[in-house]
């Protein structure tokens, strides 16, 4: 099911979280992210942060890397912005403004008891 993610953003309080990474899987306690919120996941072994979005109990994990030339994107209002050449992406990862042509990389998310697992070796 496609998430109507856009209305998450206006009220989101975006905080950063240092997630553990084991065998390519990031683990985040479910309690760290309330519904209709976002979390920027960091780990020193990851080249790029991952934006975790929770909307209506469902999760989306987007690599914060511009698909134009591999530069980090930053949150900017209701979009993600790449300062290198001006690409913009929405919170479904879709390109809003070129030169990037491909959507942001999205990772598989699953739940295990009270943990959110993000498989950084499997993109959708």
- Where does this chain bind ligand FES (CB under 6 A)? 66, 68-69, 71, 82, 84-87, 99-100
Residue 26 or 50 with smaller CB distance to ligand FES: 50
Residue 64 or 66 with smaller CB distance to ligand FES: 66
What string of H, E and C letters represents the secondary structure of 4-70? CCHHHHCCCCCEEEECEEECCEEEEEHHHCCCCEEEEEECCCCCCCEEEEEECCEEEEEECECCCCC
Strand partners for 79: 76
CB of 3 vs ligand FES, minimal distance in Å: 24
CB of 14 vs ligand FES, minimal distance in Å: 20
CB of 89 vs ligand FES, minimal distance in Å: 10
């Amino acid at each position: 099911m496609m998430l109507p993610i856009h209305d998450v953003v206006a009220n989101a309080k975006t905080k950063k979280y240092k997630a553990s990474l084991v065998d390519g899987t990031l683990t985040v306690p479910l309690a760290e992210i309330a519904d209709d919120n976002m979390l920027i996941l960091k780990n020193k072994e990851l080249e790029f942060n991952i934006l975790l979005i929770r909307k209506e109990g469902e999760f989306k994990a987007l690599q914060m890397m511009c698909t134009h030339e591999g530069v980090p994107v930053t949150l900017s209002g209701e979009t993600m912005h790449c300062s290198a050449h001006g690409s913009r992406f929405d919170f479904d990862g879709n390109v809003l403004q070129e030169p990037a042509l491909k959507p942001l990389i999205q990772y598989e998310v699953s739940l295990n008891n009270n943990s959110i697992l993000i498989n950084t070796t499997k993109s959708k």
